[in-house]
Amino acid sequence: MNQFLRSRPRRNRKSEVIRSFHRETHLGPEHFIYPLFVHEEGNEAVPIASMPGCFRHTSESLLAEVEAALAVGVGSVVLFPKVPEDRKTKSAEECFNPEGLVPRLIRSLKQRWPELCVVTDVALDPYSSDGHDGLVAPDGRVLNDETVALLCMQALSQAEAGADVIAPSDMMDGRVAAIRGALDGAGYSEVSILSYCAKYASAFYGPFRDALDSAPRGGDKKTYQMDPANAREALREVALDEAEGADMLMVKPAGPYLDVIRRVREATTLPIAAYQVSGEYACLKAAAQQGWLDERAVVLESLISIRRAGADVILSYFAKQAAIWLREGR
């Protein structure tokens, strides 16, 4: 070997101090939104079998979990409701009930922690007896424009309750512009829109649908969610949602779509979110429980990879635990 190599990259790796000099990507609790499931069927938090460590929270246990997250630096949560079967209908009108579970919990959270950033999901699937993100016609088609009208009503009920960020996850065309117009027209111009811009028809959503019992009762979601084979199509969605007034854009799932996160990052100056979804969580948890992977190491590596790809913020069920690990490592 040449004894006089001019370039030895390993010199910049020889100690933690020197590695930290040129570390390109930073991961901290401020980069997380913590997804939390909520329900009102009983007085106890219910463990989710396919997502070890996750629960369907009651109003009381939700407050305790949010308090624990805030204590380790996670300042934002997003709520997903499990709606009782007797409140699910084809017209999904429970989605805009001002006294529904989500608006009540928003008010409770914001009253206790005004500084907490509360994000809310806008879509019909938790409230629909059909299990789709939109209204379903008799012939099985998911109706776009009729759905958008309901989404606006849902967004308004959440904004009125105190939501900071409205996150439409439905993938209907034109919904960002319609929701922005509805919010502004009602005096909620300060409420942000985080658009699920590139949401793929992914097989990684299974545990989430189990947690909320929100799987489609018929058909699938491929007519409105994106084809996993496509990346260029995401850029079209970016252009449309940005023009319609989105404040932030999301790619979902995160890990299997790092290339899409990078493309979206390069196509816009808006903040980019990425959702490390339930299937990603379940895979890492299962492997760790079997002793095949070091949970802390692989979780933090997966999260830094999502940040490295270009995400400014990550929705992850690991958010609170990752924040604890990051604090321990400092």
Residue 1 confidence class, pLDDT cut points 50, 70, 90: low
User: Catalytic site residue 252?
Assistant: yes
Closest to 319 (Cα-Cα) out of 77, 40, 18, 13? 77
Q: Catalytic one among 221, 252, 285, 320?
A: 252
Helix (H) or strand (E) segment spanning residue 250: strand 248-252
Q: Of 4-8, 35-39, 312-316, which gets the smallest average pLDDT? A: 4-8
How confident is residue 2, by pLDDT bands cut at 50, 70 and 90?
low
CA distances from 266 to 199, 235, 251, 272 (A): 18, 10, 13, 10
Mean pLDDT calculated for residue range 265-269: 97
- How far is residue 140's CA from residue 219's CA, in Å, rounded to a whole number? 8
Asked if pLDDT for residue 3 goes beyond 80, the answer is: no
pLDDT for 129-170, tens place per residue?
998 999 999 999 999 999 999 999 999 999 999 999 999 999
Taking the whole predicted model, whether its pTM rises above 0.75 is answered as yes
pLDDT tens, residue by residue, 203-259: 999 888 888 887 888 888 999 999 999 999 999 999 999 999 999 999 999 999 999
What is the β-pairing status of strands 135-136 and 142-143?
Answer: antiparallel
For 151, the token pair is 């989404």
Distance CA 316, CA 323 (A): 11
**pLDDT band for position 191 (50/70/90)?**
very high
- How far apart (Å, rounded) are the C-alpha atoms in residues 75 and 313? 12
What mean pLDDT value characterizes the chain? 95
Tell me if the domain spanning 26-328 has CATH number 3.20.20.70: yes
**How much is the pLDDT for 265?**
97
> What is the predicted pLDDT for the residue at 284?
97
- Percentage of the chain beyond pLDDT 70 is 99
| Owner of token pair 């990507």 | 25
Are 159 and 191 in contact by the 8 Å Cβ rule? The answer is yes
Please tell me the predicted confidence (pLDDT) of residue 208.
87
Transcribe 104-173 into DSSP letters. HHHHHHHHH-TTSEEEEEE-STTTBTT-SSSEE-TTSPEEHHHHHHHHHHHHHHHHHHT-SEEEE-S--T
Domain boundaries, the chain: 26-328
Catalytic one among 199, 221, 285, 320? 199
- Tell me the pLDDT band of 7, cut-offs 50, 70 and 90: confident
For residue 75, with 0-12 CB atoms within 10 Å meaning exposed, 13-18 middle and 19 or more buried, which class applies? middle
Percent of the chain with pLDDT over 90: 85
Is 82 annotated in the active site? no
